[in-house]
A and B are shown apart, each in its own frame.
Chain A
Amino acid sequence: MDSLTPTQRDRGLQRLRRLTFGATAGGLIAVLGVGYAAAASYAGKSSATATAQSTTTTTDTTTSSSSSSSTSSSGLQSAPQAPTTGSSGSGTVTTGGS
């Protein structure tokens, strides 16, 4: 095998440094990413017990005064404020199947 010139050796060392740095940075990003995902998952699991309840038309329902949206352990985002009872009038729109 031919011996390397000083220039070739320097280039090789530089390449090795770049690879080492890339591998280190990549590993750090992966660790942070996994940590973030784990934290996000765990945060969902540790949420308070659901306060919702199943009712029929004659049963009391719970109203919430929460003012900011949140994401439940299901991953679905809740509305910033709970809906309230209203009456039809100007500007009423219909939700329904389509």
Chain B
Amino acid sequence: MALALKSWKALGTSVLVLTTHDDRLEPATTAVRQVLGDVDAAYSRFRADSELTYLNANPGRTIHVSPLLATAIDAALRAARITDGAVDPTIGRAIRVAGYDDDFSRLDGPHPALPQRGSDIWLRTERVPGWQAIRLDRGSRTVWLPQGVELDLGSTGKALAADLAATAAMAAAGEGGVLVGLGGDIGTAGESPSGGWRILVAEDSRVKPSGDGDVICVPAGGVATSSTTVRRWSRGGVILHHIIDPQTSLPTSGPFRTVTVVAGTCLDANIASTAAIVRGEAAIDWLTSCRLPARLVENDGTIHYIGPWPDPTSVAA
């Protein structure tokens, strides 16, 4: 079985497609490009013509949305419900006010509207309205947002995209198995290579697969990592990051900087990893009750393993 790989950039991050049959890479890649194009048009927060931008710009009105955006909002609401609001899609305004208001590739450098390092600044926050404020009618595919609510589907949206892309790629490939990686969020479909998909667990998805670190073999399902060590930016000399605590409307400041989870889908892995960062110390008990294999890195580098995570000292041949 010859593995074949293709990678490129999309959705402001890296995309990677791996197939177990090298002659199936092309149709799989085409299918992934199609899904990511649809995702970008449906729920990019940075595209003026996306459906999500239109929805966010029209609070107080019932808006008819595409099946894809309805699915993505439904997934985000499920995440909020499962995590008691630790993962909340109504952080859109809070994260924009915190300065994450453009594609991350364009956020490098000081914001022109803010004072430079060393100057006094006011840190402004916006209260997160809470996911219960959203009205989604699945039957009619309509969404209603109250005034002041902006959705951000970034966390669950990317993981959902990895799952959808893997499923579409597998359908296009027709045989074997497919892995799709979207900026470190990994979805799989079909058969895995012998022993499982090999995945290097790092804090930054840009680490080369040959780099140092734990390597796990995943036969099926999804893998996701949430980390406060990446996608950081500076506003007035204050370092901020993209994982917002809905309780405070500010970037999280808990004990864990990086959490990796293996689950049945990439979406569920991402829900668990993001919620763990937000929950802080309570994440260990919560992840234990979820019975999902997880790896948590404390701010000082101490690593905790939860559930059936493989013993890192026992390397398979």
Interface residues of A (CB under 8 A from B): 50-64, 69, 71-98
Task: Determine if A94 and B205 form an interchain contact, defined as CB atoms under 8 angstroms apart.
Answer: yes
If over half of A's interface residues share one DSSP class (helix, strand or loop), that class is named, otherwise mixed; here it is loop
Which chain B residues numbered 166 to 222 have a C-beta less than 8 Å away from chain A? 179, 181-186, 193, 195-211, 214-222
Task: Determine if A84 and B289 form an interchain contact, defined as CB atoms under 8 angstroms apart.
Answer: no
Contacts of A89 in B (CB 8 A): 198
Task: Determine if A54 and B306 form an interchain contact, defined as CB atoms under 8 angstroms apart.
Answer: yes
Task: Determine if A84 and B3 form an interchain contact, defined as CB atoms under 8 angstroms apart.
Answer: no
Contacts of A61 in B (CB 8 A): 305, 307-311
Task: Determine if B18 and A86 form an interchain contact, defined as CB atoms under 8 angstroms apart.
Answer: no
Interface residues of B (CB under 8 A from A): 3, 5, 13-14, 16, 18, 78, 81-82, 179, 181-186, 193, 195-211, 214-231, 258, 260, 262-265, 268, 271-272, 284, 286-293, 302-316
Task: Determine if B305 and A85 form an interchain contact, defined as CB atoms under 8 angstroms apart.
Answer: no
Task: Determine if B264 and A85 form an interchain contact, defined as CB atoms under 8 angstroms apart.
Answer: no
Query: Once the chains are docked, how many angstroms separate the CA of A60 from the CA of B305?
Result: 9
Given A72-B289, A86-B196, A96-B230, also A54-B3 (CB < 8 A): no
Contacts of B13 in A (CB 8 A): 98
Task: Determine if A84 and B310 form an interchain contact, defined as CB atoms under 8 angstroms apart.
Answer: yes
Task: Determine if B217 and A84 form an interchain contact, defined as CB atoms under 8 angstroms apart.
Answer: yes
Query: Once the chains are docked, how many angstroms separate the CA of A73 from the CA of B242?
Result: 29
Task: Determine if A80 and B264 form an interchain contact, defined as CB atoms under 8 angstroms apart.
Answer: yes
Task: Determine if A97 and B215 form an interchain contact, defined as CB atoms under 8 angstroms apart.
Answer: no
Given A92-B198, A97-B229, also A52-B215 (CB < 8 A): no
What's the nearest-Cβ distance from chain A to residue B144, in Å?
23
Given A50-B291, A78-B291, A97-B231, also A85-B311 (CB < 8 A): yes
Query: Once the chains are docked, how many angstroms separate the CA of A65 from the CA of B32?
Result: 31
With both beta carbons as reference points, the residue of chain A lying nearest to B104 in the complex is identified as: A98
Task: Determine if B263 and A79 form an interchain contact, defined as CB atoms under 8 angstroms apart.
Answer: yes
Given A54-B284, A93-B186, A95-B185, also A84-B292 (CB < 8 A): no
Given A92-B199, A92-B210, also A54-B268 (CB < 8 A): no
Contacts of B219 in A (CB 8 A): 79-81, 83
Task: Determine if B290 and A91 form an interchain contact, defined as CB atoms under 8 angstroms apart.
Answer: no
Given A56-B302, A85-B216, A88-B215, also A98-B263 (CB < 8 A): no
Contacts of B309 in A (CB 8 A): 61, 83
List of 5 A-B pairs having minimum Cβ-Cβ separation, nearest first: A97-B227, A98-B183, A77-B264, A79-B221, A52-B307
Contacts of B229 in A (CB 8 A): 97
Contacts of B289 in A (CB 8 A): 50, 52, 72-74
Contacts of A91 in B (CB 8 A): 3, 5, 18, 193, 197-198
Task: Determine if B225 and A95 form an interchain contact, defined as CB atoms under 8 angstroms apart.
Answer: yes
Given A55-B304, A95-B186, A95-B200, also A85-B215 (CB < 8 A): yes
Task: Determine if B315 and A86 form an interchain contact, defined as CB atoms under 8 angstroms apart.
Answer: yes
Query: Once the chains are docked, how many angstroms separate the CA of A74 from the CA of B182?
Result: 25
What are 5 A-B residue pairs whose CB atoms fall within 8 Å in the complex? A61-B305, A63-B311, A81-B220, A91-B197, A93-B198
Task: Determine if A88 and B198 form an interchain contact, defined as CB atoms under 8 angstroms apart.
Answer: yes
Task: Determine if B211 and A98 form an interchain contact, defined as CB atoms under 8 angstroms apart.
Answer: no
Contacts of A78 in B (CB 8 A): 221, 263-264, 291-292
Q: Which of A52, A82, A90, A95 contacts B202 (CB 8 A)?
A: A95
What's the nearest-Cβ distance from chain A to residue B305, in Å?
5
Task: Determine if B196 and A76 form an interchain contact, defined as CB atoms under 8 angstroms apart.
Answer: no
What's the nearest-Cβ distance from chain A to residue B121, in Å?
26
